[in-house]
Structure 1
Amino acid sequence: MVTGCVDLDQSFKSLDSSVPIPPPLPSKSNGYQRRHGMDAAPGLGNGCVSTATRDMWDRLFIDGYKADVVIYTDSGYVIYAHANIIGNASTVIKGMLKQAKRHGKWHTISIRGVPHDAVRVFIRFLYSSCYEKEEMNEFIMHLLLLSHAYVVPQLKRLCEWHLEHGLLNTENVIDVFQLALLCDFPRLSVISHRMIMKHFKELSATEAWTAMKKSHPFLEKEVSDSVILEENMRKERIRKRNDQRIYSQLYEAMEALVHICRDGCKTIGPHDKDFKPNHAECNYEACKGLESLIRHFAGCKLRVPGGCVHCKRMWQLLELHSRVCADSDQCRVPLCRNLKEKMEKQSKKDETRWKLLVKNVLGSKKIGGSPYFLPVTSC
């Protein structure tokens, strides 16, 4: 049963407006494809020649009627073919036929290095552009190499499509990767490289990897280096994502701090405001944790920088606020003005570190922002 066939139909353009418009070509899911289980490979067409025509081309190849070419393969086997057909299908074979010495009416060429059956599938494709699915699965690597070596673009695209859509696996991916680079399959090389990186630990312990290391040591090193680079980039992305989350949390904590000190929140806030039992629901998610931190800071006996871990966090938050506060004269956050004045006595190293932190914290909220914070500025 034929399970694959390259489209040989072409659309026609009307040369005269009086000529009736021809019916549309069969759709991708035409009846012939459904009956024969064809794989519709993109870019290779979705129609097929009639069954009678296909059978005629297959019979011509199988019977070798008036064949004038002998193809020698490995193990001493031969395949008979027709020079006009295989020569027109492959420019490389056409050149080989021109150079081949004539023995009576026969040309002789050799296709070695691949199994005899793979050569037979390849030559049959040159006749009818058809193939058996089982043969494609078995000889995909050999057909990939033959399609490149003998310049058969249709078969080359077909092999690439089948590998991309199911035939590429961890058992053959290293060989496919090397062959894709050797035979100019840029898309296939990228796909196989991604699979190698995904299963690197498993694949690096296989015989195929050892063979690649011996035959192509520079390639093996490049793949290994790319895996290390990708892992470092992944860790860097995670680090930046975590840093961004921390900066965003600090920004929200400063907003909640201003809210508590200016408006009050539930049971904590300015001393000059009374709290009502039906206090409105707070919109600041950071308030809950910040309330506990403020209460601890107010009652801790070690309330000095470095004396208590929790108090140290509060001191850092207060200093960070003082650096981003837009108006310390009107600000109701405790120690805001005092900490601003303290900045002038800090070392250049500490000042640079704080400026970078301020930039990152303010930059975590690029959209919107609070009117009581300074705008984002570069260091």
Structure 2
Amino acid sequence: MTLCADFDALRASAADVRIVTSDGQSIAAHSCVLASASPVLERMIDRARRGWGADCTIRVLGVSFDAVRAFLHFLYSAKVAPEEEELVGAHGAQLLALAHAYRVGWLKRAAEAAVSARLTPERAVDMLKLARLCDARRLYLHCARLAAKDFSAVERSDGWRFARRHDAALQLELLQLLEDADQRKERWARERAAQEACRQLGEAMASLDHIFPSDGPARGDAPCDKAGCTCRGLQLLMRHFATCARKAAPGGCARCKRMLQLFRLHASVCDRPDKACRVPLCSHFKAKAQTEKEDKTWRLLVKKVTRAKVMSSLADRKVVPEVVVMSWTMYNGRVAKLR
């Protein structure tokens, strides 16, 4: 691939701007193209012409000649073709700095994506500092995520050793990012555990409805023929509750207390009339809830279990609504990124 096919035609035309790089080499360019591509270059060209006449020289320092040449090529083409992605990747960091300095937004986004795709733990600290200087939020988050994932490799990098000796602010910032990532993982783990508990409670409520249907006789200890049902465990727990002699003793029985909590939770989510519901103690807890005010924590638990019960019933359908599929996919995607 010819790096800058536009430059061949440029040499034969009247170029009115000269770009000088750090090593003293120069590249001819057109002011109209540069001014239309970058507002910063437009002001620099205007200032140079007002100060020194027709001769216009712009110095682009701090990056290599090849990076400046690639930068001008993309300014002329105004896009990154699929076959030019390797060129962006080869000069990604320098193109990102140039695009940020000269306010070429589309090229900055392309360079940021290229640097993020080729990021390694050894370069995470250097690219983190570059992302902070260039206000590249996507690259910044990618560096932080990579450092949290493989911090041992980051500690062995030259960038980390330099930050420890000469840039305490960068070191502190990276450590804070790692701490935030750990706290975020712990928070997500707690949320997943809470959601799993609510899902299990929702299944328990559905099992109670299955054991004590509103129409037809109660199943009692009869085995359940429903696939994946947890009725058997509840049947054993209710049998223990009916025969346990320790539930009235001081301290009580832990299993009986758990069964009472399930009965109370069922009464809170039950939408059947009092006479139509056959679950034990349902009417008792409903009447008690009308006379006593439930605390905020219990109301929140009831709300979450009701939501889990609804989601479980939707998941059991043969045709799941599209909004449920999209929500579940989005949730799993967010969790996978934090792992």
Q: TM-score band, normalised by the shorter chain? A: 0.5 to 0.7
Contact 2:112 2:138 in 1 (8 A): no
Judge which range, 235-244 or 308-317, deviates more. Answer: 308-317
Number of residue-to-residue matches in the alignment: 298
Report whether the alignment pairs 1:79 with 2:26: yes
Q: Aligned residue for 2:218?
A: 264
Question: d(CA) in 2 for partners of 1:130 and 1:282?
Answer: 59
Q: Aligned residue for 1:94?
A: 45
Contact 1:68 1:83 in 2 (8 A): yes
Report whether the alignment pairs 1:288 with 2:232: yes
Write out aligned runs for 1:322-337 (5 A).
Answer: 333-334=279-280
Q: Aligned residue for 1:37?
A: none
Q: Aligned residue for 2:8?
A: 58
Question: d(CA) in 2 for partners of 1:318 and 1:120?
Answer: 74
Provide the alpha-carbon RMSD of the alignment.
4.9
SS in 2 for 1:74: coil
Report whether the alignment pairs 1:252 with 2:206: yes
TM-score, normalisation: structure 1: 0.57
Contact 1:256 1:286 in 2 (8 A): no
Q: Aligned residue for 1:112?
A: 61
Question: d(CA) in 2 for partners of 1:225 and 1:129?
Answer: 41
Closer/same/farther in 2, CA of residues 334 and 156 from structure 1, 3 Å limit: closer
SS in 1 for 2:2: coil
Q: Aligned residue for 1:241?
A: 195
Question: d(CA) in 1 for partners of 2:306 and 2:74?
Answer: 65
The one-letter amino acid paired with 1:242 is E
Question: d(CA) in 1 for partners of 2:106 and 2:273?
Answer: 72
Write out aligned runs for 1:303-318 (5 A).
Answer: 303-304=247-248, 306-318=251-263
Higher helix residue share: 2
Specify every segment of 5 or more residues in structure 2 that has no aligned partner in the other structure, as ranges.
Answer: 314-339
Write out aligned runs for 1:1-379 (5 A).
Answer: 1-2=1-2, 54=5, 57-58=7-8, 60-61=10-11, 71-75=19-23, 77-82=24-29, 84=31, 88=35, 90-95=41-46, 97-98=48-49, 101=52, 107-125=56-74, 135-152=87-104, 155-156=107-108, 158-160=110-112, 162-163=114-115, 166-172=117-123, 174-185=125-136, 189-190=137-138, 192-194=140-142, 196-197=144-145, 199-203=147-151, 205=155, 206-208=157-159, 211=163, 214=168, 216=170, 220=174, 223-224=177-178, 226-228=180-182, 230-259=184-213, 263-265=217-219, 267-268=221-222, 281=225, 285-304=229-248, 306-321=251-266, 333-334=279-280, 357-366=301-310
TM-score, normalisation: structure 2: 0.62
Question: d(CA) in 1 for partners of 2:295 and 2:112?
Answer: 58
Question: d(CA) in 2 for partners of 1:145 and 1:133?
Answer: 17
The one-character-per-residue Cα deviations of 1:36-89 (angstroms, maximum 9, x if unpaired) are xxxxxxxxxxxxxxxxxx36x32644xx987776654334x3214256467546
The one-letter amino acid paired with 1:141 is A
Question: d(CA) in 2 for partners of 1:353 and 1:129?
Answer: 58
Give the deviation of 1:193 after TM superposition: 0.8
